[in-house]
Structure 1
Amino acid sequence: MRVQIASEPGRPDRDNEDFAAAAPGLFVVVDGAGTPAGVGSGCVHSVAWYARNLGGLLLGAATDVGVGLDEALAVGIERVNALHAGTCDLGHPGSPSATVALARVSGERLDYLVLSDAVVVLDLVDQEPAVITDDRLAEVIARLGEPGELPAVGSGEHSERLRGRVEQLAAYRNQAGGFWVASTKPEAAGQALAGSTPLSELGAVALLSDGASRLVDSFDLMSWPELLAVLRKDGPAELITRTREAEASDPQGTRWPRGKASDDATAVLWVSGN
């Protein structure tokens, strides 16, 4: 068994709001949901602080194979709540949040969990890859619609539009009929997508933040089998390098409208010994 991890902030002058870690037979990616300037959170801590603490506590909870992955995530959320309940307003709708991808070897199977738009890609033997991601956030955004063309990334109008969208989405976050993320409600863990696959059918598994999956699901520059081929041949760092090259070719988001010119990007690859 072999594990490779790469993670890089979207900009060198900003904290990386992604977190990734591995323990024997256990892998996690947490993608903190960055917020535009001017959007309140009720919290004295940063999104990066939240992602790091949730990731570490989740990893610890999930090492017990007798605990389900959804239960481990709920425990992680509860423990982060305990870290800052005395200093922060945990009832604030903008409290720091994150998406989660988690995988764990359990006997002869691999169990996995995805909450919100992180991605788990199962490299199945003699089959097309299975891609697991939670598209409820995208569905809410589609229902809200976009008023006309998106302005250039980085412009004042783009920032204002993004700020308004984040404020709109707060009403749908961790609500029935909306979308679910890791934040202050442990019950969100029960809304995660979870499953299991036999190790005998699995060649590898990749866990990606949405900043590392965009070459496929946002930019349409490669397929999932091609992404897995890059990861297997050249590693997660090469996938991020190629993502940065694509982002740099479209700095204003003309070809690929998006919230950030360059997003934090994290990829974990585990190659089975089968």
Structure 2
Amino acid sequence: MNVALASLPAEPGRENEDFAAAAAGAAVLLDGAGVAGAETGCTHGIAWFSSTLGGLLLSSITAHPARPLADCLADSIRVVRSLHEASCDLTYRASPTSTVVAVRIGAGALEYLVLGDSTLLLADQDGKATAITDQRLDEVGKRLRGPVDELPTGSPEHAAALARYRDALTGLRNRPGGFWIAGPDPQAAEHALTGVAPLDSLKSMTLLSDGATRLVDSFDLITWDGMLTILSSSGPDELVRQVREAEASDPVGRRWPRGKTRDDATALHWVL
């Protein structure tokens, strides 16, 4: 395996709620989430949730190569729930959640799973990029976030509008007509996007948290093919550096309205 990984927290010294790891023939990436400014109901926290779920999922998909990825995710969610349901309030609306991207190489094929707004970027042998993203969270968000985007990022008014937006978003989590994400309920795994790609058609794959895809889907500075060029020539460290550079050029979100000036950013680039 030829894997390169870059990951930075939103702020220096702050806990990184992203998690990414690779094992022989498999990789996972999770982007932990909660409700900003709200107690999670979990004494362990969001970073613990994403890293614990990610580690269990990677173990499951490698130990059980014939078991569908969605079933492995459901099993892993059940285990995480059992680890803290006695000490934490998992019925609380702001209980920790996480996006999930998982890939596994089988007999001549790549299996993949995507849940939430993280992205799997596949490159074919000609270098053309195909992005696989669960759009349901973005679609719900676009209906709700207008008042947030009208205000300067980091202002008290923006923070209040963002809290209202996230509260409304939480009410649509893991519900029909809303969006699906890994949390306390293993049934969310049933709603993940899954598929298979012929292995001989692929040159590389990249697992990306939404903090690392901002150059494409939030800032519109490059295309997916352009991102692939950065990854192929300079690696994920350079991609994250360019994300941070763009964020710093617009600290109050006037050019690119967004919930956070900076976000945890993680990219795992796997060359086949």
Q: TM-score range by the shorter chain?
A: over 0.9
- Determine the structure 2 residue equivalent to 1:268: 268
User: CA separation in 2, counterparts of 1:168 and 1:203?
Assistant: 41
Give, as a single letter, the amino acid of the residue that structure 2 aligns with 1:168: A
Runs of 4+ in structure 1 off by over 4 angstroms are none
- Determine the structure 2 residue equivalent to 1:111: 111
User: CA separation in 1, counterparts of 2:192 and 2:223?
Assistant: 25
User: CA separation in 1, counterparts of 2:149 and 2:116?
Assistant: 25
Give, as a single letter, the amino acid of the residue that structure 2 aligns with 1:30: L
Q: Which secondary structure state, in structure 1, belongs to the residue aligned with residue 237 of structure 2?
A: helix
- Determine the structure 2 residue equivalent to 1:158: 158
Give the Å deviation of 1:232: 1.2
What is the TM-score with the length of structure 2 in the denominator? 0.96
- Determine the structure 2 residue equivalent to 1:79: 79
> Aligned pair in 2 of structure 1 residues 83, 253: CA closer, same or farther (>3 Å)?
same
- Determine the structure 1 residue equivalent to 2:32: 32
Which shifted more, 145-154 or 104-113? Answer: 145-154
Give the Å deviation of 1:13: 2.7
1:215 has 2:215 as partner:
yes
User: CA separation in 2, counterparts of 1:159 and 1:8?
Assistant: 23
- Alignment RMSD (CA, Å): 1.3
Question: What are structure 2's unaligned runs of at least 5 residues?
Answer: none
Deviation track 1:123-153 (CA, whole Å, cap 9, x = no partner) reads 0123732211011111112223523752111
Q: Name the % identity.
A: 48
Q: Which secondary structure state, in structure 2, belongs to the residue aligned with residue 147 of structure 1?
A: helix
User: CA separation in 2, counterparts of 1:145 and 1:261?
Assistant: 16
- Determine the structure 2 residue equivalent to 1:199: 199
Give, as a single letter, the amino acid of the residue that structure 2 aligns with 1:54: L
Q: Which secondary structure state, in structure 1, belongs to the residue aligned with residue 211 of structure 2?
A: helix
- Determine the structure 2 residue equivalent to 1:48: 47
User: CA separation in 1, counterparts of 2:44 and 2:150?
Assistant: 30
Give, as a single letter, the amino acid of the residue that structure 2 aligns with 1:159: A
Say how many residue pairs are matched.
271
Q: Which secondary structure state, in structure 1, belongs to the residue aligned with residue 146 of structure 2?
A: coil
- Determine the structure 2 residue equivalent to 1:59: 58
Give the Å deviation of 1:166: 1.1
> Aligned pair in 2 of structure 1 residues 41, 81: CA closer, same or farther (>3 Å)?
same
User: CA separation in 2, counterparts of 1:179 and 1:203?
Assistant: 31
- Determine the structure 2 residue equivalent to 1:10: 10
- Determine the structure 1 residue equivalent to 2:237: 237
Which shifted more, 148-157 or 49-58? Answer: 148-157
Give, as a single letter, the amino acid of the residue that structure 1 aligns with 2:267: A
Give, as a single letter, the amino acid of the residue that structure 2 aligns with 1:28: V
Q: Which secondary structure state, in structure 1, belongs to the residue aligned with residue 228 of structure 2?
A: helix
What is the TM-score with the length of structure 1 in the denominator? 0.96
Q: Which secondary structure state, in structure 2, belongs to the residue aligned with residue 211 of structure 1?
A: coil
Q: Which secondary structure state, in structure 2, belongs to the residue aligned with residue 22 of structure 1?
A: strand
Question: What are structure 1's unaligned runs of at least 5 residues?
Answer: none
